[in-house]
Chain A
Amino acid sequence: MSIGHALLGLLESGPRHGYDLKRAFDERFGHDRPLAYGQVYSTMARLLKNGLVEVDGIEAGGGPERKRYAITDAGVTDVESWLAQPEKPEPYLQTTLYTKVVLALLTGRPAADLLDTQRAEHLRLMRELTRRKTAGDLADQLICDHALFHLEADLRWLELTSARLGQLAAEVAR
């Protein structure tokens, strides 16, 4: 999962201090693994260097935790393309996908499209595997089937999430 994109997405709703960013991230995505301060600051430094964020202001007292960051136009574009880009289907995708969906909802982007795009990508890989399976020997079949079952599980999660988007949007907006 890309923490940089997540933080960028969080900034889209308005400038924040590094400390606020960490808190917002932890609240939304870091249920089991809170971000370390160092990770926030190193990421922000990288984004700053790439011109995706800018420093909006520094409060008295100095120190990195006193910097206030804002997203640049380039940063918005970057978030946009990240969200639109389906993830390469692979097992255990849900953390990234979840982050993407929540950010899409937070930033008012069409989360359903995001899910559909991902779904199409999954199915494309499943077709590929199915083709390989029907042409291959038993070992191929077993290996492909393993991947297929996992992808199917993901896909079902995508479907379920699609069906629950309204509910999730309400939760996120709270």
Chain B
Amino acid sequence: MTAPAEPLLTATGLRKSYGPTPALDGADFSIRPGEVVAVMGPSGSGKSTLLHCLAGIVRADAGDVRYDGRSMAGMSDGERSALRRADFGFVFQFGQLVPELTCLENVAMPMRLSGTKRRAAEKQAALWLDRLEVADVAGKRPGEVSGGQGQRVAVARALVSGPRVVFADEPTGALDSLNGERVMRLLTEAAHDTRAAVVLVTHEARVAAYSDREIVVRDGKSRDMERAA
């Protein structure tokens, strides 16, 4: 995907420290609509922190993140939360589904958080569960489904509210190859169909191979492999 569209989300010179350890030490990033960008790097290199900064979950110590022409540095916590509700979706490695809610209710939750009525939200959620080939687990609780099914439920939840950017942090980290491939195929296809950009943090090359482009983070610094080539 090399269409020269305007970048949707850019970051420049991001710095972030937790205590004395710098997690990010001048990282740059950009992603265009519909693009899938893999963020790779060794453990502890700062790739998750980069994702958190990009998604406005964490405020960077220095540098700026711009989304759709707006600077996130200037946004309040409430504005950033609203942005995450409306425009972003998230998939994490594990422990992300509310164990007490059914899978259907879990998927419907982002919409309900944005104010959609329960019935409408659950209808939409059912469609997404179907699309991710897990319609049969709708009434079950996360503890009663397999890891692959749970992760597909999580993908459905990330996509249900029609986000423009999906942040996926090691989405296949806890899955075997076959289930990992399936989740990645469904995630990238669905993102492609809805023209959602995907920021994909992973340490697995086969997962990163689903991306259009790759960024490597080492010691808190980013490296755009497109340019390196």
A and B touch in the complex (CB under 8 A): yes
The interface stretch among A10-18, A30-38, A65-73, A125-133 is: A125-133
- Asked whether A116 and B225 contact (CB < 8 A) given A123-B214, A127-B211, A163-B42, the answer is yes
The interface stretch among A51-59, A99-107, A148-156 is: A148-156
CB-CB nearest in chain A for B218: A162
A interface residues with partner B (beta carbon < 8 Å)? 86, 113, 116-117, 119-124, 126-127, 129-130, 134, 148-149, 151-152, 155-156, 159, 162-163
Q: Which of A116, A119, A120, A159 contacts B42 (CB 8 A)?
A: A159
- Asked whether A126 and B209 contact (CB < 8 A) given A134-B185, A159-B42, A163-B42, the answer is yes
CA distance A123 to B209 in the complex (A): 6
CB contacts (< 8 Å) of A156 on chain B: these are 205
CB <8 Å contact, B216 and A148: no
Contact with A along B205-219 (1 / 0, CB 8 A): 110111110101010
CB <8 Å contact, A155 and B229: no
Please report whether the interface of chain A is mostly helix, strand, loop or mixed according to DSSP: helix
CA distance A86 to B229 in the complex (A): 8
Q: How far is the CB of B182 from chain A (nearest CB, A)?
A: 11
- Asked whether A130 and B228 contact (CB < 8 A) given A123-B214, A159-B42, the answer is no
CA distance A156 to B210 in the complex (A): 17
CB contacts (< 8 Å) of A134 on chain B: these are 185, 189
CB-CB nearest in chain B for A130: B209
21 inter-chain pairs at a CB distance below 8 angstroms, sorted by A residue, are A86-B229, A113-B228, A119-B225, A120-B214, A120-B225, A123-B205, A123-B208, A123-B209, A123-B225, A124-B229, A126-B205, A126-B206, A126-B209, A127-B211, A129-B209, A130-B210, A134-B185, A134-B189, A152-B204, A152-B206, A163-B42
CB contacts (< 8 Å) of B204 on chain A: these are 152
CB contacts (< 8 Å) of A113 on chain B: these are 228
CB contacts (< 8 Å) of B189 on chain A: these are 134
Q: How far is the CB of B124 from chain A (nearest CB, A)?
A: 26
Question: With an 8 A cutoff between CB atoms, is B195 at the interface?
Answer: no
Instruction: For the complex of A and B, list the 7 residue pairs with the smallest distance between their C-beta atoms, beginning with the closest.
Output: A126-B209, A120-B229, A120-B225, A130-B209, A155-B205, A152-B205, A116-B228
CB contacts (< 8 Å) of B214 on chain A: these are 120, 123
CA distance A123 to B210 in the complex (A): 10
CB contacts (< 8 Å) of A121 on chain B: these are 229
B residues 178-229 with Cβ under 8 Å of A? Answer: 185, 189, 204-206, 208-212, 214, 216, 218, 223, 225-226, 228-229
CB <8 Å contact, A120 and B226: yes
CB contacts (< 8 Å) of B228 on chain A: these are 113, 116-117, 120
CB contacts (< 8 Å) of A148 on chain B: these are 206, 209
CB-CB nearest in chain A for B178: A145
Q: How far is the CB of B217 from chain A (nearest CB, A)?
A: 12
